[in-house]
């Protein structure tokens, strides 16, 4: 398997898991909206959920992943 194929495979896995995560997040939001409706309880849930979600977005989907991919590609090459 060439380096380009390895990188493509890793990118496909990363993209697929991100898509699955987004789908589950959408389902979670639908369940919360159905269970709590629009009100203070739902607002409290979303506020309390925002901090861990922010950390996940920062490290898994944001600048950390943008910095990780070139390093990962270089390591696959070596």
Which position has the token pair 């959920």? 49
Q: State pLDDT tens for residues 7-61.
A: 888 889 989 998 998 999 899 888 988 888 888 888 888 888 888 888 887 777 7
Instruction: Tell me the pTM.
Output: 0.56
Q: Which residues contact 18 (CB under 8 A, 6 or more apart)?
A: 61
């Amino acid at each position: 398997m060439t380096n380009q194929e390895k990188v493509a495979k890793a990118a496909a896995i990363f993209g697929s898991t991100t898509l699955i995560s987004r789908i589950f997040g959408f389902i979670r939001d639908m369940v919360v909206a159905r269970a709590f409706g629009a009100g203070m309880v739902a607002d409290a849930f979303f506020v309390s959920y925002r901090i861990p979600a922010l950390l996940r977005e920062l490290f898994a989907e944001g600048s950390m992943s943008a910095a990780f991919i070139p390093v990962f590609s270089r390591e696959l090459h070596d």
